[in-house]
Amino acid sequence: MNQMEKRPTDPGSAVRAPARGARSNDGQELQRTRNRAAIRLLDTWLADESGYDERAWPELKRSIEKHRLGKRRRFSD
């Protein structure tokens, strides 16, 4: 089996947890910052035209089918 590539990520999107005793507004702002970072990451994935999904999905699908616990197939085709 070929080793699958890693999905592109945005390493600058990590946000640290608030310090103990941080005010409620700080927690809300931290959540907003995390949400914006997640949206940026999703936008980069949606804009990705590298063909990663088209190459990785068939291999992942075969692996899921091969290692299923029951007799029922997971995918219709």
Do 47 and 10 touch, CB atoms closer than 8 A? no
pLDDT value, residue 17:
57
> 27: helix, coil or strand?
helix
Q: Would you say residue 57 lies in a domain? A: yes
**What span, in angstroms and rounded, lies between the C-alpha atoms of 42 and 35?**
11
| Phi, psi at 20, each rounded to 5° | -60, 140
Write out the residue range of the structural domain in which residue 37 sits.
Answer: 20-66
pTM above 0.85, yes or no: no
Residue 68, C-beta contacts closer than 8 angstroms, at least 6 positions apart: 74
What integer pLDDT is reported at residue 2 of this predicted model?
47
Question: What is the reported pLDDT for 1?
Answer: 39
- Whether residue 44 lies inside any domain: the answer is yes
User: Tens of pLDDT along 22-70?
Assistant: 567 889 999 999 999 999 999 999 999 999 999 999 999 999 999 888 8
- Is residue 38 situated within a structural domain? yes
Q: How many domains does the chain have?
A: 1
Q: Residue 67 CA to chain centroid, in angstroms?
A: 22
Residue 40 forms part of a structural domain: yes
- 53: three-class secondary structure by DSSP: helix
Q: Quote the pLDDT of residue 8.
A: 54
